Amino acid sequence: AEGSAAAAPSLGFSAIPTSAADAVIVPDGYRVQAMLPMGTPISGAMPAYSLSASGEDQAHQVGSHHDGMHFFPLQGSSRDGLLVMNHEYIEPRFLHAAAAGLALDRSGFPQNEDGSRDDDQVLKELNAHGVTVVRVRADDQGQWQVVEDAHNRRITGLTPMRLAGPVAGTEHVVTKYSPDGSMTRGTLNNCAHGVTPWNTYLAAEENWAGYFANSDAELDRRQARYGIETRDSGRYQWHRAAGGADEYVRFDASARGASASEDYRNEPHAFGWMVEIDPMDPASTPIKRTHLGRFAHEGVIFAPAVEGQPVVAYSGDDARFEYIYKFVSARPFEAATADGSLLDEGTLYVARFNDDGSGEWLALVPGENGLTPENGFADLADILVNTRSAADHAGATKMDRPEWGAVDPITGQVYFTLTNNTQREENQTDAVNPRADNTFGQIVRWQEEGSHAGTRFAWDLFVLAGDQDDSRDLTGEPLDQDAIFASPDGLWIDPDRRVWIQTDISESVMNSGIYEVFGNNQMLAANPETGEIKRFLTGPVGQEITGVITTPDQRTMFVNVQHPGATTEAEAFAAGNLISHWPDGGSAIPRSATLVITREDGGIIGA
Ligand code: FEO
Ligand code: CA
Ligand code: CA
Ligand code: CA
């Protein structure tokens, strides 16, 4: 009801058609520049991008697989600021010169004859993960450039990090590296992000489980419930680095020492968190905030902070049949003193969506919702390390892969993308996850009762994504040709309330079968009042579009292009047929990069 009183945003651009071209296409009257491709030097001796760059070079270069990002203006500028972005993962064959000529598929990695891995390749892979903080500035021609600056920094899979909140210092995170359980090394698979009300950046740890191996006979739920497997099936195999260095061997979480402080059996328990980074302080140690829960964190979105009220943050667990969570701080927000310690005390809730359009938040707190020692939950730290198991026990609603969230700045409605879930069976559908074999995904939204800190809400489906035969917009009509899309993932609501939707159709099915009609992954804009949706951007071959933010004046938009060319088959790769050469063109290896989008008339993006 509150929503209908709010002004609707304009969508004044001409929608563009779908595209299967190896190019970025934007509407008439818009311009696009690609910058910060993987390997761009930002710090140290500014090592130039090269296929033979070393692992150490990579620690001074932009990482790979650009994802969530934010623009932190310097002195409020819309032409000069710190771009902070996540690097979700890597493709070894595009990272290593040695991989050229080998018939590797997209998950393949080079290895030595004895099955070990080259140390410098492992170092380069760890350093291509994490987060980039880089100062960027528009020149007189409006072209954005890297500025060498003391803020520029790479945070990687090796950066020392502090643990904070209820799990810090507990037996769950005791390792040889940190016998008191206060520290860990690195962050991995940083998908989306969040920006706190005190202007720091949170990087999510999503599919971290895939980096670990464990050959113990049996795994407990702290690892098994998150998909760590007992066999050496992982893609990266960092623990097999030839030199046997401790920082690589730790990815084998098998129990080998006499106790947890002599090995890395607990190493995976230091992953699956949200990591706070202060981009304004280049000497700061990143902090894993454990009260926000441990799962495959897609990202986090904060409700607008209100003086004297709790801080509230929403986060999705992107896996089939997982959940949507929210954290409510114990202490109130006070702008003058607010900092990350607000995230260390509070209540983590998980969502239940009822079929009648109501919903409730179930507290994951000792003694509530059956979370007792008798039921296997010893204390708050045990609940948080085992967030998924606690949510199972509380009876939350199993969702179709929750990805990004966004909060309408005027109405306070919370939106979440549910990207797809092809494993949902007919007898598992419900009102919020209404389709069996859900190949196209949907976007849910809700309004909290009272305030964001409340425990009840009312929800509806904003859109059922899909083709013209299997989709439904807010008015109940199928999506038209300018609006069809599948697998919504990235989501952002700009200050004028435009709902920006980014798609991630898996590269394994993109442009084929039922997905052919959608073309390459893309970005659309929606009107939250009318439900109108218009296609704004299409990306090159084999990529996903993810990450979006504008400058404060909304006249420059940054968008990330992740994993162009990922559809290249192993034989084609060996033969040098890479399918995509974006953004460099010619015969170049494709690289993730950041788009800078402006209007020829200098206007607001999307208006
Ligand atoms: Fe990293 Fe769920 O996308
Ligand atoms: Ca994503
Ligand atoms: Ca993806
Ligand atoms: Ca995705």
DSSP 275-305: EEE-TT-TTPPPEEEGGG--S-B---EEPPP
Name the H helices within 181-313: 221-224, 246-249
Q: The whole model's pTM is what? A: 0.98
Q: Which has the closest alpha carbon to 545: 532, 536, 554?
A: 536
> Given a cut of 50, is residue 256 above it in pLDDT?
yes
Two tokens at 44? 């140290």
Q: What's the pLDDT band for 576 if we cut at 50, 70, 90?
A: confident
| Cα of 190 from ligand 2 centre, angstroms | 9
Question: What letter represents residue 356's amino acid?
Answer: D
Q: Residue 479 in contact with residue 463, Cβ under 8 Å?
A: yes
For residue 1, what pLDDT is reported? Answer: 37
Q: 193-245, pLDDT tens digit by residue?
A: 999 999 999 999 999 999 999 999 999 999 999 999 888 777 899 999 999 99
Q: Which atom of ligand 1 is nearest to the CA of 504?
A: 3
Alpha-carbon gap, residue 192 to 419, rounded angstroms:
14
> Given a cut of 60, is residue 417 above it in pLDDT?
yes
Alpha-carbon gap, residue 536 to 25, rounded angstroms:
8
Two tokens at 315? 């986060």
Name the burial class of residue 475, with classes exposed (0-12), middle (13-18) and buried (19+) by CB atoms within 10 angstroms of its CB: exposed
Indicate the helix (H) or strand (E) that contains 122: helix 119-128
> Given a cut of 90, is residue 517 above it in pLDDT?
yes
Q: What is the DSSP string of 444-469?
A: EEEEESSSTT-SEEEEEEEEE-B-TT
Q: What average pLDDT score do residues 325-339 get?
A: 98
β 402-407/414-418 pair status: antiparallel
Name the H helices within 536-585: 570-574
Q: What average pLDDT score do residues 556-576 get?
A: 92
Q: What average pLDDT score do residues 150-176 get?
A: 98
Ligand nearest to the CA of 563: 3
Q: What average pLDDT score do residues 440-467 get?
A: 98
Two tokens at 263? 């090995």
* Ligand 1 proximal residues by C-beta, below 6 Å: 88, 191, 206, 298, 318, 403, 489
Q: Which atom of ligand 1 is nearest to the CA of 318?
A: 2
> Given a cut of 90, is residue 535 above it in pLDDT?
yes
> Given a cut of 80, is residue 5 above it in pLDDT?
no
For residue 99, what pLDDT is reported? Answer: 75
CA 475 distance to own-chain centroid = 30
Name the H helices within 177-335: 221-224, 246-249
Q: Which atom of ligand 1 is nearest to the CA of 296?
A: 2
CA 553 distance to own-chain centroid = 25
Q: Spell out the domains of the chain, with CATH numbers in brackets.
A: 2-599 (2.120.10.30)
For residue 2, what pLDDT is reported? Answer: 44
CA distances from 552 to 31, 33, 75, 76, 454 (A): 18, 19, 11, 8, 30
Positive or negative CA dihedral for 454, 456, 458, 460? Answer: positive
Alpha-carbon gap, residue 543 to 566, rounded angstroms:
7
Backbone angles phi, psi at 510, to 5 degrees: -55, 140
61: helix, coil or strand?
strand
Alpha-carbon gap, residue 87 to 1, rounded angstroms:
39
Question: What letter represents residue 418's amino acid?
Answer: L
For residue 3, what pLDDT is reported? Answer: 44
> Given a cut of 80, is residue 109 above it in pLDDT?
yes
| Cα of 403 from ligand 2 centre, angstroms | 6
Two tokens at 128? 């291509």
Q: Which atom of ligand 1 is nearest to the CA of 206?
A: 1
- In sequence order, what are the residues at sequence separation of 6 or more whose Cβ sits closer than 8 angstroms to the Cβ of residue 566? 91, 106, 507, 542, 543
Alpha-carbon gap, residue 265 to 270, rounded angstroms:
11
For residue 6, what pLDDT is reported? Answer: 75
Indicate the helix (H) or strand (E) that contains 147: strand 144-147
| Cα of 550 from ligand 3 centre, angstroms | 22
For residue 39, what pLDDT is reported? Answer: 98
| Cα of 387 from ligand 1 centre, angstroms | 18
Q: What's the pLDDT band for 106 if we cut at 50, 70, 90?
A: confident
Count Cβ atoms below 10 Å from residue 68 Cβ, excluding itself.
30
For residue 206, what pLDDT is reported? Answer: 98
Q: What average pLDDT score do residues 281-299 get?
A: 98
Q: What average pLDDT score do residues 447-467 get?
A: 98
What is the ipTM for the molecules in this complex?
0.97
Q: 351-380, pLDDT tens digit by residue?
A: 999 999 999 999 999 999 999 999 999 999
Q: What average pLDDT score do residues 13-24 get?
A: 98
Q: 34-93, pLDDT tens digit by residue?
A: 999 999 999 999 999 998 899 999 999 999 999 999 999 999 999 999 999 999 999 988
Q: What average pLDDT score do residues 497-504 get?
A: 98
